[in-house]
Chain A
Amino acid sequence: ELKVEQNPLFLSMQEGKNYTIYCNYSTTSDRLYWYRQDPGKSLESLFVLLSNGAVKQEGRLMASLDTKARLSTLHITAAVHDLSATYFCAVGNAGNNRKLIWGLGTSLAVNP
C-alpha cells in the first residue's frame, strides 16, 4: 500500500532563511506532485516530477525527486512572507495514474 509522509508538518521560519520540506513515499511511483494551499483556499499545482533526478524551480521554490530513495524535497530559498501556505506532496499510484496518494501537508509560516 502506497503511503506518503511529509516532514516537518509545521514549519516557522524567518524571512531570508532557507529550508527544506521532505516527502517520502513507500512504494514505486512514476510521478510526484507538489501543491500549494493558502488558508481557506483551493489547491494549486506547483510542480510535477516525472523521473529520477528531476529538478524544477519556480522563483524561490525548487523541487527534486530521487526515485531510488523514494524521496522528494521542496527547497525554499530566502523565504518571504508570501510563501506562507500549506504545501502538499502527492504521489501517483503506479499502474493507476489517475489516483494520487497525499501527504498530510506542511504548514509553513514565514515571519518578518
Chain B
Amino acid sequence: NAGVTQTPKFQVLKTGQSMTLQCAQDMNHNSMYWYRQDPGMGLRLIYYSASEGTTDKGEVPNGYNVSRLNKREFSLRLESAAPSQTSVYFCASKGDSSYEQYFGPGTRLTVT
C-alpha cells in the first residue's frame, strides 16, 4: 500500500514553461486535493475533486488546471509557469468514511 504518491519530487522550470504534476492514490478514496505550501502562508487549496469526473476551485486556482483522470489519479498542470508559482505542492486524498486527508510526499517546484 503506497498511499499517496507524487511525481516528480523536484522540478525547476523557466518562466513560461509548462508542466504537469502527477498524483496517484491506492486507497480507493473519492476525494483528492491539490495544495500549495509557501513559507508563512500555511497550506492553500488550489483545486479539489470530490469524485471521479468532478473538480472544483479552491482558494488559489489561478494559473492552474487539473484533471481527475480516474479514481486513482489527479493531476495538476501549470500552463505557463511564473516565479510566483515557486512552492511546494502537496496532493492529498480522503475516503468518504474517514475524516483525515492523507498527504503525498510533495513536489518542490522552482520557477526561475
Contacts and interface: CB of A to CB of B under 8 A. Distances in A.
Interface of A: 31, 33, 41-45, 48, 50, 88, 90, 98-100, 102-105
A104 B99 contact: no
Interface string B93-112: 01000011111111000000
Given A98-B94, A99-B58, A42 B42 contact: no
Given A43-B103, A48-B99, A98-B48, 16 more contacts: A31-B99, A33-B99, A42-B90, A42-B104, A42-B105, A43-B90, A43-B92, A50-B99, A88-B42, A98-B50, A99-B48, A99-B58, A102-B43, A103-B42, A104-B40, A104-B41
Interface of B: 31, 40-45, 48, 50, 58, 90, 92, 94, 99-106
B42 to A, nearest CB: 4
20 contacts: A33-B100, A41-B106, A42-B104, A42-B106, A43-B90, A44-B103, A48-B99, A48-B100, A88-B42, A88-B43, A90-B43, A98-B31, A98-B50, A99-B48, A102-B43, A102-B44, A103-B42, A104-B40, A104-B41, A105-B42
